[in-house]
Amino acid sequence: MIQTIPPQSGVAFKLAAGQKLKISDPKGEQVSDLVAFNAHDIREKISSGKTLDYESTIFITKGNFLWSNRSQKMLKILEDTNGLNDFLLAPCSPETFKIIYDNHDYHPSCFENLHTNLVPFGITPDEIPNAFNVFMNVPVAPDGKLSVLAPTSKAGDFMILEAMMDLIIGMTACSAEQSNNYSFKPIEWEILA
Ligand SMILES: [Zn+2]
């Protein structure tokens, strides 16, 4: 059953070993932050550093694995029709909007949408790792300078990931203006049989 994450919100759910998760961008140009924890020991979680190290690339896509802080494979990317994702930047948080956007009013964020949805699984805000940012476009210039550009994803682009262990997944429809070409859209997800 296809489920929808409304704009600027999030969800958390269990994904058993062998199950496949499809993440779709129904309108295009919308980022989804994804975190994963070992369902049997939440101290084990997705690791950007281990993934970039073992996969030897910063551009994680079809064929790559997402690794844990304990050097175990957590997810394998089976399909990625857009092919451009980010694993360098942390989830947008209330402070992101103060520091980058000079916005001191309340602003929804992936960090809040992850930790509030993960409460039922016993996960606290400080345990939220660097997220795998599906559809996020963060090019790195030769001098090392980072940019956050509009996603290249078009309406209907999707990713399919297979769980390598029993997982707790947290996912968002990202709330940051720059990351989503200044409009907030939903994200769809589905656990495939
Ligand atoms: Zn975000």
Domain count of the fold of the chain: 1
Distance 55 CA to ligand 1 centre (A): 24
pTM of the shown model: 0.97
Segment 157-185 mean pLDDT: 97
Residues 83, 98: Cα–Cα separation, whole Å: 31
Q: Contact 39/120 with Cβ under 8 angstroms?
A: no
Distance 173 CA to ligand 1 centre (A): 7
Residues 70, 43: Cα–Cα separation, whole Å: 9
Strand pairing of 65-67 and 10-15? unpaired
Name the residue range of residue 38's domain.
Answer: 3-192
Tokens of 96: 């992101």
Distance 163 CA to ligand 1 centre (A): 23
Distance 89 CA to ligand 1 centre (A): 10
Tokens of 106: 């309340």
Instruction: Encode pLDDT of 49-85 as tens digits.
Output: 999 999 999 999 999 999 999 999 999 999 999 999 9
Segment 30-38 mean pLDDT: 98
Distance 177 CA to ligand 1 centre (A): 9
Residues 146, 150: Cα–Cα separation, whole Å: 13
pLDDT at 92: 97
Residues 8, 173: Cα–Cα separation, whole Å: 5
Distance 175 CA to ligand 1 centre (A): 5
